[in-house]
Amino acid sequence: MLYFVCTPIGNIKDMSYRAVETLRSASLILAEDTRRSALLCSEYGITAPMLSNQKYNEKQRCDEALKRLCAGEDIAVITDAGTPCISDPGAVLLNAAIEHGYEYTVVGSSCAFVSAAVISGFDLKSLAFGGFLPEKNSARKKYLDGFKNFYGTLTFYVSPHSFERDLGDFYNAFGPRRAALVREISKKFEECVRFVLGGKPEFTQKGEYVLVIEGGEAECEKNALGVREHVLAYISEGFDKKEAIKKTASDRGVAKSEIYKETLDI
């Protein structure tokens, strides 16, 4: 089992009991800074072997951790303070664990959307929290429109009874992005169901969920231009008019016919 263990951001006494138990029983601890983590381990009588896990050696540590996981060992990942993978090391190993099918979880977090974001395995360079959607349809559309220009990972809270309705709204707002539905975080039946918006995932209708949606591609810089200038910019790059119209329509998310109408004289 691979554990991503949250550590205190300030007062060392904020460490959770389960986090201490996990670190005590681990075969190996991968720590961002072994000197700082040694102080934490000393405080709680944690004697597991420890290796540094920083940006410069994450790939090397990942290979070693995978071998140990394959051998049946428990590995714990910690950072200097806070949650691994949230602007801290851990994502390289997490994604490798997902790829190879190893079990993993987050320990010690008291914030559902943060834990779910880590469990999803999506890029967390930037992260937004949307909570529950408004009840009224008009309010929902306006609310989700506010997230359309944010290209980081998105998180929302979802109730089982409204999930199918919510899925349609998320798809209409963001299109076929990858998503992860996370429930029962840190409990016995923790579950992460991966799917693509527009599809219908198989999930257990019990408890509340966090829906994590992968960030979209950044908007094309040419979208800041007028339509004619957008097409002309592509033509100046060597594309013929037909291809320039096609690429402009794709950039702006509209039909080619709309672009064509505005560029008849080009």
SS3 letters across the chain: CEEEECECCCCHHHCCHHHHHHHHHCCEEEECCHHHHHHHHHHCCCCCCEEECCHHHHHHHHHHHHHHHHCCCCEEEECCCECCCCCCCCHHHHHHHHHHCCCEEEECCCCHHHHHHHHHCCCCCCEEECCCCCCCHHHHHHHHHCCCCCCCEEEEEECHHHHHHHHHHHHHHHCCCEEEEEECCCCCCCEEEEEEECECCCCCCCCCEEEEECCCCCCCHHHHCCHHHHHHHHHHCCCCHHHHHHHHHHHHCCCHHHHHHCCCCC
- The CATH number that applies at residue 168 is 3.30.950.10
Band of the pLDDT at 218, cuts 50, 70, 90? low
The count of domains in the chain is: 3
Do residues 100 and 178 both lie within one domain? no
Is residue 118 assigned to a domain?
no
Any domain includes 21: yes
- Are residues 234 and 177 located together in one domain of the fold? no
At 101, which CATH number? 3.40.1010.10
pLDDT tens-place string over residues 109-158: 999 999 999 999 999 999 999 999 999 988 999 999 999 888 899 999 99
Q: Can you give the residue range of the structural domain that contains 79?
A: 2-110
Q: Which of 110, 145, 177 is the last residue of a domain?
A: 110
Residues 6 and 106 placed together within one structural domain of the fold = yes
Task: Tell me whether residue 117 is in a domain.
Answer: no
Worst-scoring range by mean pLDDT, 54-58, 81-85, 161-165, 188-192?
Answer: 161-165
Q: Is residue 115 part of a domain?
A: no
Whether 121 maps to a domain, the answer reads no
| Residues 135 and 194 placed together within one structural domain of the fold | yes
- Same-domain check for residues 7 and 99: yes
- Does a structural domain hold residue 160? yes
CA atoms 152, 158, 164, 166: torsion sign: negative
The answer to whether residue 179 sits within a structural domain is yes
pTM of structure:
0.79
Find the mean pLDDT for residues 90-101. Answer: 95
Q: Is residue 266 part of a domain?
A: no
